[in-house]
Structures are given as structure tokens and as C-alpha cells.
Structure 1
Amino acid sequence: MGLDIRHLAAAHRFETTVDGFVCELDYHLDGGVMTITHTGVPEQVGGRGIAGELVRIALETARREAWKIVPACSYAQVWMQRHPEFDDLRA
């Protein structure tokens, strides 16, 4: 998709800007467990797969860092159900 997704580790956030709109994924990190709490994409840029890319990048980061995942955000829960290749990351 070619999005410039940035990991703002100090803010516990992944974000990208699309057509001037900020899209984000927020998480908490505790003891090597990343809890995804929110995925937000403004409706003006919705339907382009942006939220899915945010989740994918977050999970790839978790895999690299050896973190486990708790998808507390409903979007992240559904995304993970549709992508069983990330099941090994579930806390």
C-alpha cells in the first residue's frame, strides 16, 4: 500500500497521515505484552485498508521485539481472526 507508518514508541502509537488526516493505532506495553487499545481512521480516508496496515505493522513490530499481543480493540480482534498467521503472538 505504500503508507509511511511511523512507530512513536514513547507515545505507544503507530501513525500515518493520509490526505492530511492522521490515522493511528494506540497500545499499552506491560511486561512484553502489547495491548492494542484503539485503531482510528477518519471516515474521510476510510475503506482503503489503512487500519489493517496499522495493525499489520504493529504485529510485525511485536514479533521483532518478542512481544505478545492482546487485541483489546475490536478492529484488531477481527483483523487477527482473519490473519491466523499472527496467532502465535496472542498473549
Structure 2
Amino acid sequence: MSDLRDVRAENRFEQGFVDPNGQTQTVFADYAIQGDSRIILHVEADPALRGTGAASTFMRALSEHARSEQLKLAPRCSYAVAWLKRHPEFADILT
């Protein structure tokens, strides 16, 4: 697993994970910027990573990144909304 990256030129957070076949795949979240908030529009894991927990690990890293950078998250993607509801310890980063 590699570190979370904020690819600002593409308004995208991404993180690499090794799939069950040993290949590096990416989980990403597209976002829009509104002040100090990042509106999470879409979260996607490569199909090879589905069922491995990679998307959840990514969301935790994204949430921790937002906290450390003093950013707020406004989830619009259904996966991000559901994940953040299951993790109330990150309520302080939500707008």
C-alpha cells in the first residue's frame, strides 16, 4: 500500500494497493473544491480490489488527511456517505 496522494491538478485523492494477484491498483475519490471543503463526488476501487477492504482503508486515510490538513469533507458519493456514517469518530471533518 502506498500513501494517499492529493492530485490537485485532477481534483482527485488516490492511493495504491496491491491486489490479490500482486498488481498495484488504485482507489480514488474525485472531488470539487469549495473553500476549505472537499466535496467527495465519487469513490472507486479497481475491481481487482473489491472485497479486500481497500476502499475502507482509503476512506480512513482520506479522513485522517482531511483532519491533519484542516479540511472539511462533504460526501456526495453514496459509498463515502455510508462509510462516514459508520465512522462517527470523523464527524468533526464533515460539513
Fold similarity call, TM over 0.5: yes
- Residue 38 of structure 1 pairs with residue 42 of structure 2: yes
Residue 70 of structure 1: how far off its partner (Å): 0.6
Secondary structure of residue in 2 paired with 1:48: coil
Residue 56 of structure 1: how far off its partner (Å): 1.3
C-alpha RMSD of the superposition: 1.6
Secondary structure of residue in 2 paired with 1:66: coil
Residue 64 of structure 1: how far off its partner (Å): 1.3
Residues 5-47 of structure 1: per-residue CA shift (max 9 Å, x gap): 3332332222234324332111112100111111111222211
Counterpart residue number, 1:24? 28
Secondary structure of residue in 1 paired with 2:48: helix
Show structure 1 runs of 4+ deviating over 6 A.
Answer: none
Q: Which amino acid is 1:86 matched to?
A: F
| TM-score where L is the length of structure 1 | 0.83
Residue 71 of structure 1: how far off its partner (Å): 0.8
Query: d(CA) in 2 for partners of 1:66 and 1:22?
Result: 25
Q: Which amino acid is 1:11 matched to?
A: E
| TM-score where L is the length of structure 2 | 0.80
Share of identical aligned residues, percent?
36
Counterpart residue number, 2:64? 60
- Residue 14 of structure 1 pairs with residue 5 of structure 2: no
